[in-house]
Homo-oligomer: A and B are copies of this chain.
């Protein structure tokens, strides 16, 4: 690993579509001394030998080389946050080439998507926008009742990872209090740190924003968390057998019962996976008014069929799994790689390194 450094590398980018010119320019700017090439491949396909053999650094979404073509490869960097889809690939199981992910880069866009949805709902943006289309001023009386702001409101973040932390940062600036939930206990300051990549100027690296921390994987612990009197619940847990249908009728009723009576009913935000919620129970809770609304970037299934009742549930805002997207996605994934090359050069541990023995 002694020769790791940005100079003289042959960096291969494997993706499922052509990269726009502005991205190629951005990549070259970030690695001015590297020889950069790209290969367009179907998702999951192996990288052909003639591309793979030359590369010293691989930046990839789902494509990997065969182990025998990886002799010059000193680092595989995934531009995704996880690599579940690839852990059984021979280059991961039968070589020791370091593998890193882009976990941490999703915080800013998904936090912006989340807060945008909260404010659109609480400040009646759709009403304003419809009035504008009709050239109708409308005026204040239309808005006197029902608008409210976020100051002093409580948000519970179920899954306090890099995304939850940036949501927390913005929520705190809005004057909200943040309550964090994690699977395992975080009793000490060091256990509360974010040890992965953090986009500079964002997040909650030292875990100092939440006013309370909660944990557990059992129903009683989740229910205690949902009983805090939350105005907002943000669902940001990974989908596992344990988190499938983690929240259903009982949980929505609990949330609704515990929020102060003079506040709007709780608002739900799901940026995890559709199956973490019992979607039929969600529709019922929106219809009954137990929940005042929901922002959903994920549904079950995706795409959501045109005749699905979720589309028209009251006060639901649905987007097609796009909350992490943006011009910054690819450049940030490369920032992680660049940071890790600098760390390797200095003999320091890399960020977001996949541990083959642990499987994550």
Measured CB to CB, the residues of A under 8 A from B are: 20, 22, 108-109, 111-113, 115-116, 119-120, 122-123, 125-126, 128-129, 131-132, 135-140, 142-152, 169-170, 172-175, 199-202, 262, 302-304, 306-308, 311, 317-322, 325-328
Contacts and interface: CB of A to CB of B under 8 A. Distances in A.
Per DSSP, are chain A's interface residues mostly helix, strand or loop, or mixed? Answer: loop
Contacts of A318: 128, 132
Contacts of A20: 145
Contacts of A145: 20, 327
Given A20-B145, A151-B328, A321-B140, A113 B109 contact: no
A120 to B, nearest CB: 6
A126 B129 contact: yes
Contact of A135 (B113, B138, B311): B311
Contact of A322 (B22, B140, B149): B140
Most chain B C-beta atoms within 10 Å of own C-beta, residue among A20, A302, A319: A319
B151 A199 contact: yes
Closest 3 CB pairs of A and B: A137-B303, A173-B173, A116-B119
A120 B115 contact: no
A132 B322 contact: no
A118 to B, nearest CB: 9
Given A108-B149, A148-B328, A317-B129, A199 B175 contact: yes
A124 to B, nearest CB: 8
Nearest to A137: B303
Contact of A320 (B108, B140, B150): B140
B202 A175 contact: yes
Given A109-B149, A113-B123, A149-B112, A128 B199 contact: no
A116 B115 CA distance: 8
Contacts of A304: 135, 137
Contacts of A148: 326-328
Nearest to A176: B201
Contacts of A139: 303, 320-322
Given A108-B174, A135-B304, A151-B199, 19 more contacts: A112-B119, A112-B150, A113-B123, A115-B115, A116-B116, A116-B119, A116-B123, A116-B125, A120-B120, A135-B308, A143-B322, A144-B325, A148-B328, A151-B202, A151-B328, A170-B173, A170-B174, A172-B173, A175-B202
Given A201-B175, A262-B22, A327 B116 contact: no
Contacts of A173: 169-170, 172-173
Given A113-B123, A173-B170, A311-B135, A147 B319 contact: no
Most chain B C-beta atoms within 10 Å of own C-beta, residue among A20, A140, A143, A149: A149
Nearest to A177: B201
Contact of A317 (B132, B146, B152): B132
Contact of A147 (B109, B125, B129, B200): B109
Contacts of A317: 128-129, 132
